[in-house]
A and B are shown apart, each in its own frame.
Chain A
Amino acid sequence: MSLREKGAITGVGETAYSRESGRSVLSLQLEASLKAIEDAGLKPADIDGVIPYSGVVAEDFITNLGLPDLRFSAVTPLGGASCVAAVQCAVAAIAAGICNHVLIPVGRNGASGGRIGMRVQQMPQFRLVGEFEMPLGAIAPAQLYAPMARRHMELYGTTSRQLGEIAVSTRANAMLNGNAVMTKPMSIEDHQASRMISDPFRLFDCSLESDGSCAIVVSGAERARDLRKPPVMVMGIAEGHPDSPSVITQRPDMTRLGIAKAAPRAFEMAGVKHDDIDVAEIYDCFTYIVMCQLEDLGFCKKGEGGPFVESGAIRLGGKLPVNTHGGLLSQAHMVGMNHIAELVRQLRGEAGKAQVRDAEIGLVTGYGDMGDGSVAIMRRG
């Protein structure tokens, strides 16, 4: 059995995104959850599965949403790859007959709550980095990920301006989105003038720290057809973990992420080719991570990510429009759940000014925790 066409995204909900909400993570998630359930045309009582992200537990949703019979809960602790991995988990649970409608909320007050950069040392998946690298001054993801980008630059001639193209095109997309934190235009020169954080990452190569929440509802394929909106069918989905998953320093090939293992599985399950993908929402905690995933997914060869993005391929109107909502770089850091929400809007034809014409098949990825990857290919149902 494969998970092909066994599940669909039937509802999406987002709060307003900001730098400071002054609200608890749970309160934000409950708001987005209600919106997602409403978007699906369901009632809260229909939800019988929950996959919470972090800081909250399934019981919080039973208590606050008044769920009478929750039959399934799980966690998918893959950092930024968690959301797409949670969709895989939800579809698997549905296909196994455990439950029918799974709520997957994420939310954070990364800007007004704990700083994202300072939080990492407390997380168990970073035990090795915490013991052997943080005491030496390698503390934040920007510093831990930068050597991957530097090696790519040295091996393949990738430039900071090519990374900048990703920041610039993502910002242009954010300006078309009514719910983006960053609303000022950005040029390549602005990117090049932004201060160096950890070379080669400049400020504008780094994602935002945001407040807000985004939630989705995953339903069984059959039931999805009877709900309020056209279902967005999950055609292929997979997660992958890189070699030396917890420590980039020890990874045999530092320029290859976990998604390189997942992508062939997802494409095979979906039965589509790269040319069939009309729009892609690629996890973008840093510009380089987008470029590396484009290569690892097979949209271009390893080392050709720089020229690929420089060609304009990822802009709206390009060969493969990427992060049409503004991503983590310019819309908000919602752990990539906002990427799933945007793909759903694109495939429903609800993406407004950023709508990719006739988008029928799209792809969304997650990346996190030093290199874990997840990828889903979906179609308009």
Chain B
Amino acid sequence: MSATGTYNKLVPEPTPHSAPYWEGLNRRKLLLQKCCGCGRIRHYPQPMCPSCHSTEVEWVEASGRGVIHSWTITHHAFHPGVRDDLPYTLATVDLDEGVRMLAQLRAVPAEKLRIGLPVRVDYETVKDGLTLPYLVPGEPA
């Protein structure tokens, strides 16, 4: 968060399909869509299950645990709002629930990054009504 209190990064525009996800983050919970028709968990939120075409979902809380699938370390500010964060690591993570997420990974030096590294999700309220997930080192399963 910038010192002046004005948040100048890109912000999400939740849709009716994704609002529960963002509301969950505000309660420090990582919520995923689970299909009421076949039980498949999907992410990112979408209106229809690609397996059974049901549009009914329940929102289930993820464990917040996973392992690194890949990553990038960004050194260039593609948006003015991220200039003070450089360099930052973006990690793609295989969650225990079988879907992936992407978030900034903190407290892991570049030389320690590897596929399979355990991580867990934490949360940060960056502005009124917006909480974002980030990743920190996790315990091996």
- Could you list which residues of chain A lie within 8 angstroms of chain B, going by C-beta atoms? 117-118, 121, 128, 130-140, 142-143, 146-148, 150-151, 154-155, 195-201, 247, 249-250, 254
User: What are 28 A-B residue pairs whose CB atoms fall within 8 Å in the complex?
Assistant: A117-B78, A128-B44, A130-B12, A131-B12, A132-B12, A132-B44, A134-B10, A135-B11, A136-B90, A136-B134, A137-B79, A137-B85, A138-B102, A139-B79, A140-B78, A143-B74, A147-B92, A150-B71, A154-B70, A154-B114, A154-B115, A197-B76, A198-B74, A199-B72, A201-B72, A249-B100, A250-B44, A254-B92
Q: Which residues of B contact A131 (CB under 8 A)?
A: 12-15, 18, 44
Q: Which residues of B contact A118 (CB under 8 A)?
A: 78-79
Q: Which residues of A contact B90 (CB under 8 A)?
A: 136-138, 143, 147
Complex formed: what's the CA distance from A140 to B74 in Å?
10
Contact B69 A151 (CB under 8 A): yes
Q: Which residues of A contact B53 (CB under 8 A)?
A: none
Complex formed: what's the CA distance from A142 to B74 in Å?
9
Complex formed: what's the CA distance from A146 to B74 in Å?
9
B1-15 vs A, CB cutoff 8 Å, 1 = contact: the mask equals: 000000001111111
Those of B31-86 within 8 Å (CB) of chain A: 43-44, 69-76, 78-79, 82, 85
- Could you list which residues of chain B lie within 8 angstroms of chain A, going by C-beta atoms? 9-15, 18, 43-44, 69-76, 78-79, 82, 85, 87-88, 90, 92, 99-104, 110, 114-115, 132-134
Contact A195 B70 (CB under 8 A): no
Residue of A nearest to B75 (CB): A196
Q: Which residues of A contact B44 (CB under 8 A)?
A: 128, 131-132, 247, 250
Distance of B12 from chain A, by nearest CB (Å): 5
Contact B92 A249 (CB under 8 A): yes
Complex formed: what's the CA distance from A292 to B88 in Å?
25
Identify the 9 closest CB pairs spanning chains A and B, nearest first.
Answer: A146-B72, A147-B70, A151-B70, A199-B73, A140-B78, A139-B78, A196-B75, A198-B74, A249-B102
Once A136-B90, A137-B88, A147-B92 are accepted as A-B contacts, the answer to whether A250 and B75 lie under 8 Å apart by CB is: no
- Select one of A128, A139, A142, A250 contacting B100, CB under 8 A: A250
Q: Which residues of A contact B115 (CB under 8 A)?
A: 151, 154-155
- Select one of A136, A140, A151, A201 contacting B102, CB under 8 A: A136
Q: Which residues of B contact A254 (CB under 8 A)?
A: 69-70, 92
Complex formed: what's the CA distance from A128 to B46 in Å?
9
Complex formed: what's the CA distance from A27 to B15 in Å?
38
Distance of A199 from chain B, by nearest CB (Å): 4
Residue of A nearest to B130 (CB): A135
Contact B104 A136 (CB under 8 A): yes
Contact B78 A121 (CB under 8 A): no
Complex formed: what's the CA distance from A20 to B93 in Å?
40
Apart from the given pairs A132-B12, A198-B72, 17 other A-B contacts in the complex at a CB distance below 8 Å: A121-B10, A130-B10, A131-B12, A137-B79, A137-B85, A137-B104, A138-B90, A139-B78, A140-B78, A142-B76, A146-B72, A148-B70, A154-B115, A199-B72, A247-B44, A249-B102, A254-B69
Distance of A139 from chain B, by nearest CB (Å): 4
Most buried by B among A154, A197, A201: A154
Distance of A370 from chain B, by nearest CB (Å): 13
Q: Which residues of A contact B11 (CB under 8 A)?
A: 135
Most buried by A among B12, B76, B104: B76
Distance of A378 from chain B, by nearest CB (Å): 35
Q: Which residues of B contact A151 (CB under 8 A)?
A: 69-70, 115
Q: Which residues of A contact B76 (CB under 8 A)?
A: 142, 195-198
Q: Which residues of B contact A196 (CB under 8 A)?
A: 73, 75-76, 87
Residue of A nearest to B17 (CB): A131
Contact B72 A250 (CB under 8 A): no
Q: Which residues of B contact A130 (CB under 8 A)?
A: 10, 12-13
Complex formed: what's the CA distance from A195 to B100 in Å?
30
Q: Which residues of A contact B82 (CB under 8 A)?
A: 137, 139
Contact A132 B102 (CB under 8 A): yes
Q: Which residues of B contact A249 (CB under 8 A)?
A: 92, 100-102
Complex formed: what's the CA distance from A155 to B116 in Å?
12
